[in-house]
Amino acid sequence: MAAAQATHPIDADVVDSVLAALDGPEPDACLAAAVALLHARGLAEPDSDGPPWLDLERGEGRLRLFAAAAVEPPGLRMRVLLEHALGAALARASELGEARKVREHLVLHQAASFDAILVHDQGVALDCNPRLVELFGYSREEVLEPGHVARVVAPEELAVVIERIRQGLEGEFLVTCIHKDGRRIRAEFRARQTQLGDRPVRVVALRDVTDRERAAELIRESEARMRTLLEATFDGVATTQGRGTLVRVSDSLVRFLGVPREKLIGTSVLDVVAPASREEVSRRIASHTVGAYDAMAIAAGGESVPVMVVSVQSTLDGEPVRVSAIRDLREARRLELERRQLELQVERSQRLESLGVLASGIAHDFNNLLVGVLGGAEMLLTTLQDPDERAQAEAIRTAGQRAASLTKQMLAYAGRRSLTTTEPVDLAELWQELRTLLEAALSKKARIELDFAPGSVVLGERSALMQVFMNLLTNASDALEDKPGRIFVTTERVHQPEARWSGALGAPVRSGSWVLVGVRDTGAGMDEATQKRIFEPFFSTKTRGHGLGLGSCLGIIRAHGGAILVDSAVGHGSTFSVLLPATESRSVSPPPSAATAPPCRVLVVDDEPLVRLHVLRLLSRLGFTVEDAATGSAGLDAIARSRPDVVLLDMMLPDLNGVEVVRRLRASGVNVPVVLCSGDLDAARERGLEPGLVQGMLQKPFDPGQLLEAIQRARAGSQT
C-alpha cells in the first residue's frame, strides 16, 4: 500500500481535501482529520531519524510531520500551502486550548473566591461570579440587566456610590446593600479601574461584613457603656501612651481639671500631678503597675486635689495604652474629717457622761451623809449653851454646808442640776449685777465692755445662771494673767444658729428662738489639748482650782436646754459662747412664802440610818409622830399597818426604788401623800413619773424649813 501511495504524489486535490478537513468548528478535530489525510499519503509518519518535512510551533502547540521512506515529500509550492493551512489550524487549536484553560481557571477562581466579584462599565454589569449571585439572591441574568446597581444599593447611599463610580475612585469603602428578599447587608467594597481589551471597566470585590460590623457595633456600644459607666463612677478618665503622654481624656476630666482638652492631649500626665506624687506616678507608669492608689492632682489655678487613681493596661488602635480612672477625694476627705470629728465629739460626750454618772452617784451618796451631818449640827446648836461647844457645832454645820455646795456643783456637772425655781431672767440686768459683785475680785487691769441686744431674756434659774456667768467672767479675768487686757461680753437674739453649733456641748441645737451670750478675752488662750479637757471634773489650769467650775457650768447650761462652744488659740485669747432658749415673758414669779406644818404622822422610808435618825429626832421634837423603815417592802408593810399622813420616801432603796413603791401604793388604792427624797432629783424625774404620782420632791441635804415646807405642800396637794 505504501508503494501504491508513493506512486501518487500530493496534488491539488489532496491540498483541497486537507483545507476542507480544516474548515470546521472544532480546531482540534479538524487538525486531527487533516493529519489523518496526510498520514494516508505517507506524509504524517511517526518520528524518524530523518528531518521532518514540516515542523510547526504555534503557542503551546507543535506539529512535526515526517515522510515515509518510500514517499517523496511535497514540492515547495504544495508544502507552503500545507504549512500555512496547518499552521493556522495549529494556532487556532492552541489559542482555543489556552482560552479553555483560562476559562477553567476563571471558573475555578470564581467558585473558590470568598468575595463576590462584579465587572461593570459605569454601573452596567458585564460579568459576575456565583458568589455575587449567592450574596444578593439575584440570578446572573438579573445581575446583568441594566439598573441592577440601583436595585442592590440602599437608597440613602446610592448617590455616593454613583459619584465614586463617576470619579473612578479606587480603594475600600462600606456600602449598605439590599438583598432580593429585602434584607439589608453591610458590604465591604474594593474597587479597581482596569481594562477589558480596549474597554475601560471597573472590577469590584464585595464581601459580606454584616456580622463583623454588627460585632464591631456591639463592641462600640459596649465601650460606650463602659466609658459612660467609668465617667459616672469616677470624676475623669485618662488614656496615656509610652511614658505617660496623654492621648485621650474624658469630658468629665476636662471639667475636673479646668484645663482645655487641646492643652492636655500630647502633654505628659505628670504635668497635672502634684510634685509630691510625681515620683510614685512615674514609677507606676514605667513598671506598668495596675491597681488603685492615692495621689495629688493639680487643677486649674494650682489647687492641689487629693484623688484616687485606678489604672489598667489596655490597647487603643492596636497600640498599648494605660487607662486611668480618677476619683476626686475632696468630698470623701471632708466627710472623713467630719466623721472623725464626730467620733471625737461622741467619745468626748461619752467620757463626760461617764464622769457625770460617777459624779452623780458620789453626790447622791454624799448628800445622804450630809443630811445626818447637817441635821446633827442643827440639833446640837439648839441644845448647846457653851460658846466653845456652839463654835464647834457651827464649824461642823459650815463644813457640811460647803460640802453640800460642792455636791451641788458635782450634780450640776453631771447635768443633774434641778431647776426648781425657773423665772424669766433678763441677762442684761444679770450681767450688770454680776459685774458689780465681782468688781473687787476681777483683775484691776481688765477692761470689761458690755454690749447687750434688746430682749435678751431667758427662762431659767437666776442663781444657777449667775453661777455660770460668774465662772466665765472670772476665768476670762484670770486668762489675762494680771496683764492689761479686755473682756467683751455680748448678747444677741438668734433664730438660725450657725452650723458650728452642731459640735457644741450640751443640748441639741435646732432652729428656734435663742439668746447667744459671748464672753471673749484677750488673754493667753488655750492649746487644743487643754480645750479638750476644760469641762472634765477636777481638771484645772489654776493652782488653787478644784476643777468643777466649767464642768458645773456645762451641767447647768444643759439643764437649761442650752449649749456651749469654746474657741481659743494660744496667744489669741478665748471665746466662750453660750446659747440659751429665749422667752418673751418678763413676769417674775413671787418667792415662795415660809410655811409651817402642823404635827401629823410621818413615815420615813430610807436605807441610810443617819437620814432616818435625823428626821425622826427633828420631827419628834416638833410634835410629829414618826415611824421609819429601811427598805421599800418594809415601807409598804408600815403604810398598810399604820396609815401615816405623809410618807418621806427615798428614791434609791436596796430592794424597790421609790417610784416602784409609789406605783404599788397607788395600784392598791392607797392615796397617802408621798414626798420623794433624793440627792439627785433629776434622776427621779428621768424615771418617768406619771403626773400626780407623788405630791412633792425634796432635794438632799435639806434644812428643817425645807422639810416642813415639803410636808405641808404634800398634805395640801392631797386635799385638793
Helix (H), strand (E), coil (C) string for 352-370: HHHHHHHHHHHHHHHHHHH
Q: How confident is the model at residue 540 (pLDDT cuts 50, 70, 90)?
A: low
Domain that holds residue 645: 601-719
Q: Do 10 and 72 belong to one domain?
A: yes
Instruction: Please indicate, yes or no, whether residues 485 and 572 belong to a single structural domain of this protein.
Output: yes
Q: Which residues pair with 193 in a beta bridge?
A: 202
CA 112 to chain centre: 60
| All residues at 6 or more sequence positions from 252 whose CB lies less than 8 Å from its CB, including other chains | 231, 234, 235, 236, 237
Which residue, among 513, 511, 499, 517, has the nearest Cα to 453 in the 3D structure?
517
Residue 283's pLDDT band (cuts 50, 70, 90): very high
Alpha helices in 414-489 (DSSP H): 427-438, 462-479
272: CATH? 3.30.450.20
* 60 or 169, higher pLDDT: 169
Q: Are residues 384 and 466 in the same domain?
A: no
CB 552 within 8 A of CB 504: no
Tens of pLDDT, residues 126-150: 888 888 888 899 998 888 888 888 8
In a shared domain, residues 653 and 505: no
On whether both 136 and 179 belong to a single domain, the answer is yes
Long-range contacts of the stretch 462-466 (C-beta < 8 A, 24+): 462/421, 462/423, 462/425, 462/430, 464/412, 464/417, 464/419, 464/556, 464/559, 464/560, 465/425, 465/427, 465/430, 465/556, 465/560, 466/430, 466/433, 466/434
478 with 564, same domain? yes
Of 276, 304, 328, the residue that ends a domain is: 328
User: Which CATH number is 447's domain given?
Assistant: 3.30.565.10
How much is the pLDDT for 683?
Answer: 47
Query: Sorting pLDDT into bands at 50, 70 and 90, what band is 21?
Result: confident
Residue with cell 449685777: 433
* Whole-angstrom distance, CA of residue 92 vs CA of residue 99: 10
Q: Which of the residue ranges 30-39, 488-497, 500-509, 695-704 has the most confident prediction, judged by mean pLDDT? A: 488-497
DSSP state, residue 632: H
Same domain? For 90 and 125 the reply is no
CATH of the domain at 678: 3.40.50.2300
Mean pLDDT over 93-100 rounds to: 77
Is pLDDT of 686 > 50? Answer: no
**601-605 β-sheet, strand order:** 625-629, 601-605, 646-650, 674-678, 696-699
Same domain for 709 and 684: yes
Distance (Å) of CA 255 to CA 237, 240, 264, 278, 300: 11, 18, 12, 22, 10
In a domain, 606, yes or no: yes
Give a yes or no: residue 595 inside a domain.
Answer: no
pTM over 0.85: no
Q: Is residue 316 part of a domain?
A: yes
Q: Would 450 be classed as within a structural domain?
A: yes
3-state helix, strand, coil in the chain (%, to 5): 45, 25, 30
Question: What is the number of helices (H) and of strands (E) in the chain?
Answer: 23, 25
Burial classification of residue 209, based on how many CB atoms lie within 10 Å of its CB (0-12 exposed, 13-18 middle, 19 or more buried): middle
Same domain, 364 and 463: no
**What is the rounded average pLDDT of the residues 47-74?**
78
Least confident of 63-77, 458-472, 532-546, 656-670: 532-546
Model confidence at 647, in pLDDT bands (50, 70, 90)?
very high
Q: Is residue 390 part of a domain?
A: yes
Domain boundary among 305, 328, 351: 328
CA distance 667 to 639: 14
Assess whether 430 and 560 both reside in one domain. yes
Which of 181, 188, 235 has its CA nearest to residue 212?
A: 188
What single letter denotes the amino acid at residue 352? L
Which has more pLDDT, 295 or 364?
295
| pLDDT higher than 50, residue 470 | yes
Domain count, the chain: 6
Q: If pLDDT is split at 50, 70 and 90, which confidence band does 156 have?
A: very high
Res 7 pLDDT > 60: no
Distance CA 227, CA 219 (A): 12
Distance from C-alpha of 663 to C-alpha of 686, rounded to nearest angstrom: 15
Residues 284 and 303 grouped into a single domain = yes
Q: State the Cα–Cα distance between residues 150 and 698, nearest whole angstrom.
A: 108
Mean pLDDT of the chain: 80
Lowest-confidence range among 295-309, 326-340, 404-418, 602-616?
A: 404-418
Q: Which cell numbers in the block locate residue 96?
A: 482555543
State mean pLDDT over 210-231. Answer: 77
Main-chain dihedrals φ then ψ at residue 519, nearest 5 degrees: -125, 105
CB atoms within 10 A of CB 333: 12
Contact status, residue 428 vs residue 452, Cβ threshold 8 Å: yes
In a domain, 224, yes or no: no
For the ranges 256-265, 525-534, 675-684, the maximum mean pLDDT occurs at 256-265
Choose one of 303, 328, 353: the last residue of a domain: 328
Confidence category of residue 209, pLDDT binned at 50, 70, 90:
confident
Tell me, what's the pLDDT at 349?
65
Cell 515542523 locates to 55
In a domain, 59, yes or no: yes
- Overall size of the chain counted in residues: 720
Same structural domain, 405 and 429: no
Upper half-sphere CA count for residue 483 (Cβ side, 13 Å): 9
* Burial class for 470, CB neighbours closer than 10 Å (0-12, 13-18, 19+): middle
- Does residue 572 sit within a domain? yes
Phi-psi region of 332 (alpha: psi -120 to 50; beta: other; left: phi over 0): alpha
**pLDDT in the model for residue 587:** 46
pLDDT in tens, 553-611: 887 888 888 999 999 888 888 999 999 999 887 645 444 444 466 889 999 999 888 88
| Contacting residues for 590 by C-beta, under 8 A, at least 6 apart | none
